[in-house]
Structure formats: C-alpha cells, structure tokens
Chains A and B, each alone.
Chain A
Amino acid sequence: MMEDKKALELYFHIPFCVRKCLYCDFLSGPYGDADREAYMKALFVEARERAADCSDYRITSIFIGGGTPSVAEESAISKLMDIIRECYYTDSDMEVTIEVNPGTVNADKLRAYRAAGINRLSIGLQSANNRELQTLGRIHTYDDFLETYSMAREEGFTNINVDIMSALPGQTMESYTDTLEKVLELSPEHISAYSLIVEEGTPFFGQYGQGSDLLPDEDTEREMYKQTAEILASKGYKRYEISNYATEGMECRHNTGYWNRTAYLGLGIGAASMMNNCRFTNGPDFRAYISNPLGQRGEVTELSLQEQMEETMYLGLRMTAGVPAEDFRRIFGRDMEQVYGEVIRWGIGEGLLQYKEISGMVGRSLALTDRGLDVSNYVMARFLF
C-alpha cells in the first residue's frame, strides 16, 4: 500500500523569533505568549484539515523552519508531530528537521524534540566571530553556539547542519576562514554556506544597500566563495548544491526535494506548496491566519508543460549532480537535447555546462561546471522559454 503512494514533503513555518536580525527579510518577528499559542493552534487546525488532500501521499521529510522554531514551546512541537503521525501516512525513515538558534534551546527542549521524532537539527551560527554576530544583530555569541551544539550531540542528534555566512560587513578573509575552521573542528554532518544578500526592506539595506566600504570587495567575496568549496572539500564535505555541503550520504533530503521537484505542502503563513504540478502559497497575514487558518491559501497556479520543463532545469541545475537526461525523458517523453539542444550546446561551448556520469544512475546528467555555478542565474535564465 505505502509503496503506491507518492512522496510528499511537509514544511511548517514558525514565524517566531526573539528579535529580528538586521539582514533578515523572512516572514518572522517577536510574538507574545498568547500570539504564539494562538498561531500554533491554527497550525494544528491547518495540519489536520489539509491531511484530507494528502491521502495519496506518504511523507518522506518534514522541515520545521522559521523564524526560529525553537522559540515555540516544545510541547507545541511535539503536538504538531503527533498530529502528523495521526493524520498522514509517514515513512518510517523520514527526515525531520527543526531549525534552532543558540540561546533559544536547552537540554529539555532538545530531548523533547528527539522524543517527538525529530532527527535533524539545523543550527544558525552564521559566524564564529562575535563582532560579526553583533553586526548581524544576532542574539547569541560563538560560545552560546558551542554550548547548543555540544548539548545537541549529548542528546543524541547525529545529523546536524550549521549555517554560516560570507560577505558580511566587516568580515575579512581571515575571519571567514577562521569561522570555517572552527565549524570543521566540530565535524557537523552538513554545512550551509550562504553569501549575504542585502535585501530591500531590511535595516541592512539602508546601511549597505547602496554599497559600502564595510562590505568585502568583489575579489574578497569571490575568494571567500572559492575557499568555502576548497576547504570543505579537503575535509570530506561534498558540495551537492549551490550553497550546501555534506559528508557522504548526509545531504538534506528535504532541501534536495525542492530541486528535483518532489511534491511538498507548506503550512503556516507565507508557506509555499507544489502538488500535482500546481503551485500555491499561504498569505502572509498573521492575524488572518489565526482567525482562519484554512482561508489563507492564494491562487492555485497550474504549471504548463513548458513551465514544468523550465523548473526541472533551473531548479535541478542547482544540484551539482545536475538533471539526469533519463529523468527528463521519463517525465516529459522527450529528450532534453531535443528541447534544449541549442542552450546546452551554448553552455558547453562557454564552459558553463557539462554532461556528467553519476555513479548509480543510468545515463548522463546535465550539470553546471564550477564556473557555471558562479553565474548560475545567467545560465538558468536561458532555460526559460
């Protein structure tokens, strides 16, 4: 029975945080006890009710993101997991991740997560340099992170991701490699290394939006980016996606699902979904969601065959394994070469694309080269019709 069901990933958006970081443009903010409780209740309602749409699916992964989901009561997280197991078909080995930030968890909380079936932690470190953490408006120090990390290990978490950032204001090559080395000493299974994007609407935009001497220059920024790949590779971390690195077999299954177009259902405010080649997103209004959690879904957009092909390419190319030609043919009944021959020839000619043999896969796969990864948007845009 279970084998007949299609894979589905669940995403829960928990918009709480202690304080908004200065660069953050996600849907999050500090909320009082009553608001948090009301929101979690609404999320329970949505989780229960949406299950009816998912009877043909089995859950392969869950991601509880935010915000800082660890700001929520651990009992609420446990309850959410109970509801999922009660109302959805779940794989026995599903990957369940929660995002936590140092300073918002203790041993009891982590123990409760484990008991609830959460088997992966994503910890937001961003930098091992306290001055840089302060610049970012983070609420924690590097020591706070170390404490959280070792607590997580003690509580038995064997799959941990650490988020770090490059191109920060005031960051130097030395301070960045120092962060990388300090993280590597801890041997996490997974590292997400993002380059800061100064987003409009954040306090950072006012400060750095028009360019600033404090931001690393283009050369330094590129060097940081290169060093990330080199240093992590030397320690056995493989870059499997533009900004993600993992030890053998520890790639984030949930994240990978977004890029190879596994179906996913997002619950909570602002959460995006893709099911049956339709995309839809919940509205961002916190109050509206609390009063009517089922009424916030926006317009459902059905993807045309062309749009599905476009997505297959520009999402799939984020993975270093690329897009397997055989998968494309199986899904669309046409060869990738037939549809995208011209773009592929151009990309290969420019040294931006390559065909790869991937062990364990039939046939070859179209992937970005290292140079192609650097300018991925430039390449991906050509795959749009």
Chain B
Amino acid sequence: MERNYQSKIRNFCIVAHIDHGKSTLADRIIEKTGLLTSREMQAQVLDNMELERERGITIKAQSVRTVYKAQDGEEYIFNLIDTPGHVDFNYEVSRSLAACDGAILVVDAAQGIEAQTLANVYLALDHDLDVFPVINKIDLPSADPDRVKDEIEDVIGLEAQDAPLISAKNGIGIEDVLEQIVQKIPAPEGNPENPLQALIFDSIYDSYKGVIIFCRIMEGTVKKGTTIKMMATGAKQEVVEVGYFGAGQFIPCEELSAGMVGYITASIKNVKDTAVGDTVTDANRPCSEPLPGYKKVQSMVYCGMYPADGAKYPDLRDALEKLQLNDASLQYEPETSIALGFGFRCGFLGLLHLEIIQERLEREYNLDLVTTAPGVIYKVFKTNGEVIELTNPSNLPDPSEIEHMEEPIVSAEIMVTSEFIGSIMELCQERRGRYLGMEYIEGSRALIKYELPLNEIIYDFFDALKSRSRGYASFDYDIKGYETSSLVKLDILINREEVDALSFIVHADSAYERGRKMCEKLKDEIPRHLFEIPIQAAVGGKIIARETVKAMRKDVLAKCYGGDITRKKKLLEKQKEGKKRMRQVGNVEIPQKAFMSVLKLDDGR
C-alpha cells in the first residue's frame, strides 16, 4: 500500500441540532459521491435505511464509505460516521467523534443556533476536530443566512463567511460541501507499521457473523487471522473478516490500516465484550496503552418492566437477552412485585432509550408490557455506614436506618427566545432548579443555565419546556454529580393495601402535591367495583391524600331492540377485554395503564 494513502481519506461526522437536516445531508453526500448511478444508489441506500429504521437501530451509529472525485482530479475516500443526536447517547456520540478527524456543523438558516447545536459543536471541538459550518434550508422563506453566519461567528467563534449555503432537501449546494470536506477536514495520521490500536465506536450483533465491531484504526494494521484483544474487557478472538461500510452493506477487504474506518468480525458472541470506547489491539503485539476516554456506560434511568400476561415472563426474558446482544447499555435484572408478579428492573441511558427499548419489545417481540414509573439511582447513606444505590423505591430501607440520601443533578442549558424566558425560568424553579446564569445571544435569544435534579426532568420536562415556549425552547444537559436532598418514598394504598409497583421517591416538598394528583388520577383509572375502594397516598405510614372510587351501582343495557344483539355482545366483549388488562391487587382490579399514570401527573398544568 502506498504510504501516502492517508492523504486521500477524510473521516468526518455531521453535527446538528435535531431537525436541522443532518440525515438529509448525509443522504445527499452518499448520493452525490456514489460509484453507482444516483438512481440506483438512492434506491439502495434508502431501502437499507428504512429497514434499519424499522429495526429500530436509530440509536446506533451508522457509517458509510464513499468515493468522491474532487475538482483537483483526485479521488478521495469519505468515511461518514453518522451518530445519534440525543443527549441519552452522549457517550456514544463522543466515541464516534473520537473516530473522526473533522466535523460538518449543520445550522438551520431560519432557526439559527440551538441548544444541541452548541452542545454538539463543543463536544466536537473538545475532541480537537476541525469543524466547518454549513447553512441548510436556505430555500425556506424565513431563511436568514447572513444573520446565522454572524451568529455562528459570534457565539461559537467559527469562521462562517464562506460556509456553503445549501438545501439538503432539494440538493442545492452539495458540491460546495464536498469540496470543503476535502479542503477543510484534515487527512488522518498514524503509522500502519505500529502495533494495532483501534477505537470501537459501535458494535452490532449479527446472528451469522456474531458481533460486528465498528472501528477506526488509529495505529497499525488488522487483517484476517490477527488475534485481537479488547483492552478493557480482555476478550480475545481471531479475526474472521475485515471490511468497510458500503451503502447499507458490509464489503470485505484485505486489511484495515491506520487512518481507516471499517469493521471487524471475530465470532464474538456478545456486544458486551466489545464495549463502545474500548481499544482493540493485536494480542501478540499489543500497543503500550489504550486510547483515552474509555468509560463504562452507566444506566441513568430505571424502571420495572412486567409482562401484561404473567405467563409471558420467559418471553420477556428471552427478548431482553436478545436486545442486550445488540445494546450493551441495556441492563436488567429479575425482580418480583406483589402487584405485578415476575418482571425485570431495567436500566437505561435515559428516557428516550427506555422508550426505544419498550417500543422494540412491544413491536418486535410482540409483548404487552406494564412499565412502572421511571426513576433515577439514589444514593442512600445508612446510619450503619453502608451506602446503597437505590434503583427500586420498594427497596428503600426504613427511614430510621437512613442517615441521608443523595440524588443525581444535571447541568442544563436551555436556549429560548427572550419572550419565553420568564415562563421557562418558572418551570425550572418548579422543578427545583438552581439558576446558574444567562447569556444573551444576538439580543433576541438567551441561553439559560440551570442545575436540575435528574428525577425532575426524566418524565415530562421536555414536553413542558416545549409547551411553555410554543415549541421554541431547546434543551441539553450533562450529568453533574450527586447532591444531598430531602427525599421521601410516597406509597399508594388501594383498598388499604400498599401497591409496591406504584411507590416512588419524591422530594419532601412535593410529596403532598404529587400524592394528591396521584390519587385523583388513579380514581379516574380504576373502574368501579362492587364495593367502595379508598385510594390513599402515604409518606412513612402517614396518609397525606385520599380519594374514593364509589361502588358500582348500575351496569345494565336496558334495551336490546329487535333481536339485534351485536351491540350487547360488543359491550360485553369490551368489558371482558378490559378485564384482561387488569391486575389483581387484593380484591381490586387495577388497569395496567394506571401503573404508568404517575408519568402523566402534569397533564393539567
């Protein structure tokens, strides 16, 4: 191989705020640089992407290699590493960035800089990437590229006067972007003769090939037959195949050398062995030290997941096992609830991750689930010196044994137009936020900084933010650490029996309010029974709120006219179906959705 092959490679990613057009630009780059005709290419790429979306791999990094013939007459290999933009996957995003040498920053010509624009661009700059801006959606009537250029220069400090003005959707200005990739993104470095040092930025499980590692070779060379070693997990295997990423397919090649992006397969059975961020080296000729930045991914949000039909417990276990093959950040362990029976306590990177997993379990594995209210990990310091990391409220020790408790805090940045500053600050105060400061951006917009408890933002903070800013506010956060907090366990008693699956941890000051709302909500959710049902909220055995579901007095279809019994049958079947979706607690039947109702306590606010 020619020693100067690296000068013809560009490894880059695209960063943007959600909906600013990152995926569309990626599609255009693939299309314009394709070796196939654009029509063939487009059909192929889109089909594959759709399949992937259907499979729910939207949370996975995607990577594609294309070849671009530049105006200087040379052919360049583009490795585009597309990353998920959500804050839940910040660590994965940071590993993907570490695999690149540069980044394209996409900014919407009408909306300008948003919270995630800043968060992502700072993340890219932190990784020493060369970033150049692109202004997208210039064909919108409200586009104001000059204002956005100034904004990019003022706020981020990136040179923006020669930023390509494009419409990814309509294919305008893409050539300009391709040329700037060649000119502004540096070629990779590294020596192919050095010991192997490759960064894992993602991995997927394939039922035929086993785990497929997505990696960037920093130093050295890997080929079929190399015995590789994962430096953090210690796993060792012989390489079966190496290759690069075609448009939606894996294309095998002889070897991968320093500066290249590609994949490795080695009959590895579990993605847990190939942790994102880990370093792959040659077991027989290891590099001296791993690449920096590896950390074990920690679940931030926990909830209980139970099969609606108790008999499906083994199916749920199998499904979780299979999902975990492909998603190392999913954690689960069995737990038992008095109300819900056998299930699992599952840990997720964030609420979006939780929702994706829930959706995949329901869609791909055809499971009907009951999910308990998501919570965060609390640190419980006991009087005997023991520290518990609490993920299930039911396991909270007796208050007499608790010395104090701590909860996770995030630093949040909210970008909003000035007219909504008041209402957004009010929201943050309600959520126990601590105001850190505010910066104005070109007069009409502000970046508000708050510290917020994580448990205040995992349910519905984002929705509340959107509704109080008519959709304009954008939001990003980072986990800051743990702080002491006055927390209590709120218990719910239905017909005087405590329902473990409905308990949750809440700040002492909001316990009364949450308890009252919870009782009201449950009163609406629980159907009438033959007897009266008290619903109570309690903290430490003391009742703080109560509602009553009145006894059923009448449930009759008075008339059944002219022998048309279809309506009666439908009514009875509906009742029967409803009954199936009930959970028996004592002698009360609780609809499954009641267990999720804690999530929606803020409906009326």
**Are A377 and B575 within 8 A (Cβ)?**
yes
**Are A314 and B576 within 8 A (Cβ)?**
no
**Are A384 and B573 within 8 A (Cβ)?**
yes
CB nearest neighbor in A for B559? A194
In the complex with contacts A378-B575, A381-B572, A384-B572, A65-B562 CB distance below 8 A? yes
A270 to B562, CA, bound (A): 10
**Are A314 and B562 within 8 A (Cβ)?**
no
- Chain B: interface residue count, which band? 20 to 34
**Are A243 and B559 within 8 A (Cβ)?**
yes
**What chain A residues lie within 8 Å of B530 (beta carbons)?**
350, 352, 375, 378
A75 to B565, CA, bound (A): 31
CB nearest neighbor in B for A221? B554
Instruction: Choose one: A65, A266, A375; the contact of B554 (CB below 8 Å).
Output: A375
**What chain A residues lie within 8 Å of B558 (beta carbons)?**
194-195, 197, 242-243
**Are B562 and A315 within 8 A (Cβ)?**
no
CB nearest neighbor in B for A265? B563
Q: Which of A341-385 contact B (CB under 8 A)?
A: 350, 352, 373-378, 380-382, 384
**What chain B residues lie within 8 Å of A11 (beta carbons)?**
562-563
Question: B155 an interface residue at 8 Å Cβ cutoff?
Answer: no
**What chain B residues lie within 8 Å of A264 (beta carbons)?**
563
Instruction: Choose one: A270, A352, A375; the contact of B556 (CB below 8 Å).
Output: A375
Q: Nearest Cβ in chain B — how far from A139, in angstroms?
A: 20
**What chain A residues lie within 8 Å of B554 (beta carbons)?**
195, 218, 221-222, 225, 374-375
Question: B463 an interface residue at 8 Å Cβ cutoff?
Answer: no
Question: A26 an interface residue at 8 Å Cβ cutoff?
Answer: yes
**Are B563 and A381 within 8 A (Cβ)?**
no
CB nearest neighbor in B for A65? B562
CB nearest neighbor in A for B554? A374
CB nearest neighbor in B for A192? B559
A120 to B571, CA, bound (A): 31
Question: B552 an interface residue at 8 Å Cβ cutoff?
Answer: yes
**Are A258 and B555 within 8 A (Cβ)?**
no
In the complex with contacts A375-B552, A381-B579, A315-B565 CB distance below 8 A? yes
**Are A272 and B563 within 8 A (Cβ)?**
yes
**Are B555 and A374 within 8 A (Cβ)?**
yes
**Are A266 and B562 within 8 A (Cβ)?**
yes
**Are B566 and A378 within 8 A (Cβ)?**
no
**What chain A residues lie within 8 Å of B552 (beta carbons)?**
375, 378
Instruction: Choose one: B562, B565, B572; the contact of A271 (CB below 8 Å).
Output: B562
Q: Mark B554-590, 1 if CB is under 8 A from A, else 0.
A: 1111111111111011011101100100000000000
A63 to B558, CA, bound (A): 19
Question: B553 an interface residue at 8 Å Cβ cutoff?
Answer: yes
Q: How many A-B residue pairs have CB under 8 A?
A: 89
A373 to B557, CA, bound (A): 10
| B554, B563, B573 pick with most chain A CB within 10 angstroms | B563
Q: Nearest Cβ in chain B — how far from A219, in angstroms?
A: 9
Question: A297 an interface residue at 8 Å Cβ cutoff?
Answer: no
**Are B553 and A222 within 8 A (Cβ)?**
yes
Q: Nearest Cβ in chain B — how far from A281, in angstroms?
A: 7
Question: A239 an interface residue at 8 Å Cβ cutoff?
Answer: no
A9 to B562, CA, bound (A): 11
Chain B contact residues, CB within 8 Å of chain A:
530, 552-566, 568-569, 571-573, 575-576, 579
Chain A contact residues, CB within 8 Å of chain B:
9, 11, 13, 26, 63, 65, 194-195, 197, 218, 221-222, 225, 242-243, 258, 264, 266, 270-274, 279, 281, 311, 314-315, 318, 350, 352, 373-378, 380-382, 384
Extra 17 A-B pairs, beta carbons < 8 Å, given A195-B556, A374-B554:
A11-B562, A195-B558, A197-B557, A197-B558, A222-B554, A266-B564, A270-B562, A271-B562, A274-B563, A311-B565, A314-B569, A352-B530, A373-B556, A374-B555, A375-B556, A378-B575, A381-B575
Residue contacts A-B, CB under 8 angstroms, 28 given: A13-B562, A65-B562, A194-B559, A195-B554, A195-B558, A197-B557, A197-B559, A218-B553, A221-B554, A243-B558, A258-B560, A264-B563, A266-B563, A270-B562, A272-B563, A272-B566, A281-B566, A311-B565, A315-B565, A350-B530, A375-B552, A376-B555, A377-B572, A378-B555, A380-B572, A381-B572, A384-B572, A384-B576
The 4 closest A-B CB pairs, nearest first, are A381-B575, A272-B564, A375-B555, A377-B555
